[in-house]
Amino acid sequence: MPVRPGPIRSILILQTKYIGDLVLSSALAKNLQLEYPGVRIVFLCDGRFAGLLTANDIASEVVTFRRSHMRGSPLRRAQELVLTLFRLRRYRFDMAIDITDTRTSRFILGLVGARVRVGYQRRKRPLPWLDLQPANVKAKPFGYGERHFLYRYLSPLEALGIDLRQRVPAIEPPSSQATKALALLDKFHLRPNAFVAVHAGASFPGRRWLPERFAAAIDRISAETGLGVALVGGPDENEAVEKILATAKTPVVNLVGELPLETLPALFKQARLFIGNDSGPMHMAAAAGTPVVGLFGLQKPIHWGPVGAPSISVRPSMPCDCVAKDICQRPDGNKACCVWRLEVDTVVDATLELLARTRTALEAAV
């Protein structure tokens, strides 16, 4: 289907997944801003993540939906979908880009009223009429010959013929967020570039490294480096945090629930290093330019590893005997407990190596 020419003044990005996906998608938004100066970038995302996008200048505006309603009864799902479509159509977008690529997101793409509609090339299916693609510009499943999911989210640029000017996410927190982060550090007597930020949470229990191993790693890293340690995360991650605090011998600052999501990039920017599970904050820290040690299980770092900052991704040997047959749902990498097999020595060694590797750059900056 030919695309009608015309100016691009407003663009909708449909990204209804999670924090890590939104952080990776920020590189797409930045390239669009560079290609179309003054363009209004609007994201459709879960309402919990709206502040992260607007407070850090990733999006001009956000249209939100309630995930709980989208997963509710058929009537509730229909009501939420109609309300979302009504709000989106009022913008009269010139372009809409669907990087969520679900039946629901493709349905929205077809009805949002944009002149240019970008989606992914469809795979062959037994009943293709059940999986219609309303896009008039179709991107490869992964662009630029790369396998990392970052390049899935950048692939629409290649389909549109737009130069790739910014290859990785780069979050530059505004001064208002930096001020909040520095005030929090001062409150807890943490010095910038003198502490390690640790995130022990993840969306599924199987992707969370064991709290007692986090505690053992924290003790060794603190003893060998003299760096402070701050635990970060949301209020729903308190269970793992309490186990770490009860087990670690080193004094650990608990910042869990102390600051909103939108301020986390500014906090990470002040950290000397980040250690955490394969989850959204890991991608956020990398995008803020903080060195990252990422802890992986069945998910492959080649697909989901941190990008945008010096990093080391650690993963136990594969394949392995299942350590949690009652919880694991293999082959789904999001629901497997392989990270539980990761040894403390492996994480500590990676952390010390990355600290040594980035010390010269830090000293030069100072």
pLDDT tens profile 135-155: 999 999 999 999 999 999 999
pLDDT digits (tens, 9 = 90+) for 168-208: 999 999 999 999 999 999 999 999 999 999 999 887 888 89
Helix ranges restricted to H, the chain: 19-35, 50-55, 67-70, 74-89, 103-111, 150-160, 175-187, 211-225, 238-247, 264-270, 280-287, 301-304, 344-365
pLDDT at res. 182: 97
pLDDT digits (tens, 9 = 90+) for 59-87: 999 999 887 777 778 888 898 999 999 99
pLDDT of 305 over the 90 cut: yes
Q: At 325, is the pLDDT very low, low, confident or very high (cuts 50, 70, 90)? A: low
Report the percent of the chain where pLDDT is more than 70: 90
Q: Which residues of 113-132 are buried (b: 16+ CB within 10 A; e: fewer)?
A: ebebbbbbeeeeeeeeeeee
pLDDT digits (tens, 9 = 90+) for 256-297: 989 999 999 999 999 999 999 999 999 999 999 999 999 999
pLDDT at res. 234: 85
pLDDT digits (tens, 9 = 90+) for 11-54: 999 999 999 999 999 999 999 999 999 999 999 999 999 999 99
Widest CA span in the chain = 65
Instruction: Give the residue, 237 or 10, on which the prediction is more confident.
Output: 10
Distance separating alpha carbons of residues 43 and 64, to the nearest angstrom: 8
**Dihedral over alpha carbons 182, 188, 192, 197 (to 10 degrees):** -110
pTM across the whole model? 0.91
Distance separating alpha carbons of residues 15 and 30, to the nearest angstrom: 15
Neighbour-count burial of 51, counting CB atoms closer than 10 A to its CB (0-12 exposed, 13-18 middle, 19+ buried): middle
Q: Average pLDDT over the chain, rounded to whole?
A: 91
Phi-psi region of 278 (alpha: psi -120 to 50; beta: other; left: phi over 0): beta
pLDDT at res. 3: 63
pLDDT at res. 322: 66
